[in-house]
Amino acid sequence: MSQPTVVTQQPGVAYAPRAQEEWNSGLCDCTDDMGICCCGLFCLPCLECRVARDYGECCCLPLLPGTSFSIRTGIRERYHIEGTVCRDWVHLAYCFSCALCQTARELKHRRTQANVVTYRG
Protein backbone atom coordinates (compact mmCIF):
# COMPACT_ATOMS: atom_id res chain seq x y z
CA MET A 1 0.00 0.00 0.00
CA SER A 2 1.14 3.48 -0.78
CA GLN A 3 1.23 6.29 1.71
CA PRO A 4 -1.60 8.87 1.46
CA THR A 5 -0.65 12.33 0.18
CA VAL A 6 -0.62 14.97 2.86
CA VAL A 7 -1.94 18.37 1.84
CA THR A 8 -0.07 21.10 3.65
CA GLN A 9 -1.53 24.08 1.81
CA GLN A 10 -4.97 24.63 0.32
CA PRO A 11 -5.05 25.73 -3.30
CA GLY A 12 -6.53 29.16 -3.81
CA VAL A 13 -6.40 32.35 -5.71
CA ALA A 14 -4.17 35.07 -4.38
CA TYR A 15 -5.35 38.59 -4.97
CA ALA A 16 -4.28 41.99 -3.84
CA PRO A 17 -7.00 44.20 -2.42
CA ARG A 18 -7.82 47.13 -4.66
CA ALA A 19 -6.76 50.55 -3.42
CA GLN A 20 -9.53 52.78 -2.15
CA GLU A 21 -10.14 55.99 -4.09
CA GLU A 22 -11.70 59.25 -2.97
CA TRP A 23 -14.81 60.94 -4.33
CA ASN A 24 -13.99 62.99 -7.42
CA SER A 25 -15.36 66.10 -5.69
CA GLY A 26 -16.17 67.08 -2.14
CA LEU A 27 -19.58 67.02 -0.53
CA CYS A 28 -19.88 70.82 -0.58
CA ASP A 29 -18.35 71.35 -4.05
CA CYS A 30 -21.78 71.79 -5.61
CA THR A 31 -20.67 74.69 -7.80
CA ASP A 32 -18.07 72.53 -9.57
CA ASP A 33 -20.82 71.62 -12.05
CA MET A 34 -23.42 74.37 -12.31
CA GLY A 35 -25.83 72.22 -14.35
CA ILE A 36 -26.02 69.58 -11.64
CA CYS A 37 -26.06 72.29 -8.95
CA CYS A 38 -29.05 74.08 -10.51
CA CYS A 39 -30.90 70.81 -11.08
CA GLY A 40 -30.32 69.87 -7.43
CA LEU A 41 -31.39 73.31 -6.24
CA PHE A 42 -34.53 73.79 -8.34
CA CYS A 43 -35.69 70.26 -9.19
CA LEU A 44 -34.28 67.70 -6.79
CA PRO A 45 -36.64 64.88 -7.92
CA CYS A 46 -35.39 65.34 -11.50
CA LEU A 47 -31.80 64.97 -10.29
CA GLU A 48 -32.72 61.82 -8.35
CA CYS A 49 -34.20 60.31 -11.52
CA ARG A 50 -31.14 61.31 -13.54
CA VAL A 51 -28.78 59.70 -11.00
CA ALA A 52 -30.83 56.48 -11.02
CA ARG A 53 -30.79 56.38 -14.83
CA ASP A 54 -27.04 57.12 -15.03
CA TYR A 55 -26.42 54.37 -12.47
CA GLY A 56 -28.20 51.93 -14.79
CA GLU A 57 -31.50 51.64 -12.95
CA CYS A 58 -35.03 52.64 -13.88
CA CYS A 59 -35.45 56.41 -13.68
CA CYS A 60 -38.60 55.88 -11.56
CA LEU A 61 -36.61 54.09 -8.86
CA PRO A 62 -36.35 57.20 -6.62
CA LEU A 63 -40.10 56.97 -6.05
CA LEU A 64 -39.32 54.14 -3.64
CA PRO A 65 -38.02 55.14 -0.20
CA GLY A 66 -34.33 54.56 0.50
CA THR A 67 -33.18 54.14 -3.08
CA SER A 68 -30.92 57.22 -3.11
CA PHE A 69 -29.08 55.69 -0.17
CA SER A 70 -28.76 52.36 -1.97
CA ILE A 71 -27.52 54.01 -5.16
CA ARG A 72 -24.93 56.13 -3.34
CA THR A 73 -23.62 53.10 -1.46
CA GLY A 74 -23.63 51.07 -4.69
CA ILE A 75 -21.61 53.72 -6.51
CA ARG A 76 -19.12 53.85 -3.67
CA GLU A 77 -18.73 50.08 -3.78
CA ARG A 78 -18.63 49.87 -7.59
CA TYR A 79 -15.82 52.40 -7.90
CA HIS A 80 -14.01 51.44 -4.68
CA ILE A 81 -14.48 54.85 -3.08
CA GLU A 82 -13.53 55.28 0.55
CA GLY A 83 -16.35 55.54 3.03
CA THR A 84 -18.86 53.58 5.03
CA VAL A 85 -22.56 52.84 4.93
CA CYS A 86 -22.95 54.94 8.08
CA ARG A 87 -21.26 57.94 6.43
CA ASP A 88 -23.47 57.55 3.35
CA TRP A 89 -26.54 57.59 5.59
CA VAL A 90 -25.39 60.65 7.52
CA HIS A 91 -24.62 62.60 4.34
CA LEU A 92 -28.02 61.81 2.85
CA ALA A 93 -29.90 62.38 6.10
CA TYR A 94 -28.38 65.75 6.95
CA CYS A 95 -27.35 67.16 3.58
CA PHE A 96 -29.42 65.31 1.01
CA SER A 97 -29.10 67.76 -1.87
CA CYS A 98 -25.30 68.11 -1.47
CA ALA A 99 -24.86 64.32 -1.27
CA LEU A 100 -27.06 63.78 -4.33
CA CYS A 101 -25.15 66.43 -6.29
CA GLN A 102 -21.85 64.77 -5.31
CA THR A 103 -23.20 61.41 -6.48
CA ALA A 104 -24.31 62.91 -9.81
CA ARG A 105 -20.91 64.58 -10.32
CA GLU A 106 -19.15 61.27 -9.60
CA LEU A 107 -21.24 59.41 -12.16
CA LYS A 108 -20.65 62.15 -14.75
CA HIS A 109 -16.90 62.06 -14.07
CA ARG A 110 -16.77 58.25 -14.41
CA ARG A 111 -18.80 58.32 -17.63
CA THR A 112 -16.53 61.04 -19.10
CA GLN A 113 -13.44 59.12 -18.02
CA ALA A 114 -14.76 55.94 -19.69
CA ASN A 115 -15.47 57.83 -22.94
CA VAL A 116 -11.94 59.24 -23.04
CA VAL A 117 -10.46 55.75 -22.66
CA THR A 118 -12.77 54.41 -25.38
CA TYR A 119 -11.80 57.10 -27.89
CA ARG A 120 -8.08 56.70 -27.26
CA GLY A 121 -8.06 52.99 -27.81
- DSSP secondary structure, 14-26, as one string: --PPPPPB--SS-
| Reported pTM | 0.79
Distances 117 to 21, 76, 111, 112 between C-alpha atoms, Å: 19, 21, 10, 9
Contact 85, 102 (CB under 8 A): no
φ, ψ of residue 39 to 5 degrees: the values are -65, -40
The string of pLDDT tens digits covering residues 74-121 is 999 999 999 999 999 999 999 999 999 999 999 999 988 877 665 555
Question: Quick one: pLDDT at residue 31?
Answer: 86
Compute the distance between CA of residue 106 and CA of residue 5 in angstroms, rounded to an integer. Answer: 53
Beta strands in the chain (DSSP E): none
Distances 31 to 24, 36, 76, 101 between C-alpha atoms, Å: 13, 8, 21, 10
Q: Which helix or strand (DSSP H or E) is residue 43 part of?
A: none
Domain ranges for the chain, please list them: 31-120
Question: Quick one: pLDDT at residue 13?
Answer: 62
Question: Quick one: pLDDT at residue 113?
Answer: 82
Contact 59, 50 (CB under 8 A): yes
Residue 33 has pLDDT above 70, yes or no: yes
Bridge partners of residue 81, in order along the sequence: 21
